Amino acid sequence: MTHNPPFARAPVAAWPWLLAGLLALPLLALFLRGFPALPGTAKDLDVVLTSLLLATAGSLITLALALGLAVLGVLGGVGRTLEALLLLGYLVPPFVTSIGVLYSLQAFGVRIYGVPGILLAWALHYAPLAYLLLKPQVRVALGLLAAARVHGVGGAKALQVFLPPLLPPLLVAGGTLYLALLGNFGVPAVLGLPERVYVLPTLAYARLLSPTAQDPLGEAAALGLWLGLLALPVVLLGRAGLLEAKEPLLPPARPAYRLPFALYALLALLLVLLGLLREALLNPYTGAWDPVFARALDLPLVQKGLRNSLLLALGATLLLLLLALALRPFPGLLRRVRGVLDLHYLLPGTLLGVGLILLLAPTPLYATPWLLLLAYLLNFAALALRALEGGLGVEGAVLAGRVHGLGRLRAWLRIGYPLLLPSAFAGAFLIFPLAFAEITLSALLYAPGAETIGVAVLSAINGGLYREASALGLVLMAFSALALLGRPRW
C-alpha cells in the first residue's frame, strides 16, 4: 500500500481550516470584546432569564399548537391549498405578524404589548414551521396507532404507542423553534420595546444606541455572549436524523378534521390581516376611506429600503448558490466551511451583527451596503450549502461521466450541475424571502442610504407612522404570498 508523505499534503489540508477560521473571525471578535465586559452585564441577568423563559415557553406553546395541527392535518387528509393557507403565516416576516396582531386586537380594545403579545405572535408565526417538521412523523405515529387499534390497544394505552415515536422529532422541532425564538428580533422589537420588555437581541440593539451606556459596544458584545451561551446546548445537540419510514397505512381521511384545521389557518391569517387592512385603509380618527399606500411608498426611506432589500436579497441568493455550486465537488472543504457557517445561521443573528461591527467599524466597508451584503452572505450561506448537499446520485453520475472520458470540470458542468438545478431553485426560494425581509442584522448594520425594508418598517413604527407601517406590512405579505407560488414540494 502506498501513501503520500504527510508533509507534502499538509498545505492542501490546512487551507480549508484557514478559511473556516477566517469565517469565524466575527465570533472571535465578539468573544474577545465581550468577555471582559461580561461582569458589567450582571445588572441584565433578568433579561437573560426573560430570554430563556420566553424562548422556552414560546417553543412549548408553538410545539403543542403545531402537534395539534399536524394530527388534524393528517387525519383530515389536508390538501396543498389548505396547507398553503397555513404556511402563508410563516412566510410573512415575523415583525409584520406582530404589527398585524397588535392592530387587530386593538380594534377590539385589547392591548397586547409585552409578554403575552410576544408569545402570541411567535406561536402564530412559527406554528407552520413546526407543523412542517412534525407532520411526517405524526403520519408514522398515527399509522402505528391505527395498527395498535387493530390489535385492541385503546384508551390511555394508545398514547404509549403514539408518543414514543414522536419524541425525537418533537425534540428536533423544539430545538429548532428554541433557536429561532431566542434569536428573534422583530417580534420583541415591535411588541416588547414600547413596554420596555427586553430580550437579549433587543437589549443588545438598545445598548448600541443608548446614550447612557458607558461602553455600548462592549456591553452589546457581552449580551451577545449570553445569547450564545443560551443557544449553545441546543446547537451542540444538533439535528438528530428524522425517522424515515415508509408511507404508513392510515385510516381513511375524515373531512371533519379538516374543519378545525381550516378554521385555525383562517383565524390566524385574519388575526394578522384585519388590523393591517384597517390601519392601512381607514382614517383612524374619522373612519373615512383613506388608503395610505401611496404615502407609504412615497417615503424615500421606503423606496431605498425596497430597492436595497431587493438587490441585497438577489445578490446574496445568487452569490451563495454560485458559491455552493462551486464548492459542491469538494466535499471535504464543504464540510469544514459549513461547520462555521452553520454557526452563523443557527446562532442568533445578533452575534454575527455585533461581531461584524467590532471587526469592521474602522474600515471603509462600514456604513456601506457591502457590509450588509457580507452579513447576509455569512448568515444564509449554510442554507445554500445544505440545499445543494443532497442528491447522492450526483457523485455517481459525475463519476460515470468521467469513466466515459469527460474531464472533471466538464463532467460537473455537463452532468453534475444540471442534476443539482432543482435543489438550487429550492434553495433560492428558501433564501430570497428570508434575506428580503431580514431585520436582525440590518437593524444593527445599516447606514444612512443603506436601509433595508425591514429597517424602514421598524423606523416607521418607532416614528409613530403606524398606518404607513401597516401598508408596508401588507406589501411584504403580498410579496411572501408570491414566494408561496414557487413553493417546492415540502
Partner 1 sequence: MKVIPWLLGASLVLCSASAKDQITLYVAGAQLPDVQALVQAFNQVHPEITVQVFRSGAGEVVAKLRAELEAGNPQPDLIWLVGEGFFRELSQRGLLMRIAPTFPGLPPQYVYEGGRYYEVRLLHNIIAVNSRRVRALPRTWANLTKEDYRGQVVMADPNFSGPALVALGYLSDRYGFGFWEAMKRNGMAVEQSNPVLQQKLARGEYSLAITNDYGVRQEIAKGAPLRIVYPQDGVIVAPTPIGIPTWSRRPDLAEKFLRFLLSERGQRVFVERGYLPVLPGIPAPADAPSRLVGVRGREASAEILERFNAFFGLRR
Where does this chain bind partner 1 (CB under 8 A)? Answer: 43, 106, 111, 193-194, 196, 198, 203, 206-213, 216-217, 283-286, 288, 295, 298-301, 307-308, 311, 314-315, 318-319, 322, 361-362, 366-370, 373, 447-450, 459-466
| Residue with Cβ nearer partner 1 (159 or 209) | 209
**Distance, CA of 339 to CA of 374 (rounded, Å):** 18
Least distance to partner 1, CB of residue 270, Å:
21
Q: Which residues partner with 282 through β-bridges?
A: 289
Least distance to partner 1, CB of residue 318, Å:
5
Q: Is the dihedral of CA 362, 363, 365, 371 positive or negative?
A: negative
Least distance to partner 1, CB of residue 445, Å:
12
Q: Which residues partner with 289 through β-bridges?
A: 282
Residue pair 77/253 in contact (Cβ under 8 Å)? The answer is yes
Least distance to partner 1, CB of residue 285, Å:
4
Residue pair 274/99 in contact (Cβ under 8 Å)? The answer is no
Least distance to partner 1, CB of residue 361, Å:
4
| Residue with Cβ nearer partner 1 (317 or 480) | 317
| Residue with Cβ nearer partner 1 (347 or 377) | 377
| Residue with Cβ nearer partner 1 (6 or 287) | 287
| Residue with Cβ nearer partner 1 (38 or 299) | 299
Nearest to 33 by CA among 355, 443, 445, 367: 355
| Residue with Cβ nearer partner 1 (147 or 409) | 409
Least distance to partner 1, CB of residue 414, Å:
15
Least distance to partner 1, CB of residue 458, Å:
11
Residue pair 70/83 in contact (Cβ under 8 Å)? The answer is no
**Distance, CA of 353 to CA of 356 (rounded, Å):** 5
426-464 exposure pattern, b = at least 16 Cβ within 10 A, e = fewer: bbbbbbbbbbbbbbbbbbbbbeeebbbbbbbbbbbbeee
**Distance, CA of 24 to CA of 80 (rounded, Å):** 40
List, as one string, the DSSP characters of 238-275. Answer: --PPPPP-PPP--PPP-GGGHHHHHHHHHHHHHHHHHH
| Residue with Cβ nearer partner 1 (311 or 400) | 311
Q: Within 10 Å of residue 16's Cβ, how many Cβ atoms?
A: 17
| Residue with Cβ nearer partner 1 (130 or 465) | 465
Place of cell 470584546: 33
| Residue with Cβ nearer partner 1 (252 or 464) | 464
**Distance, CA of 15 to CA of 447 (rounded, Å):** 34
Least distance to partner 1, CB of residue 299, Å:
6
Least distance to partner 1, CB of residue 210, Å:
6
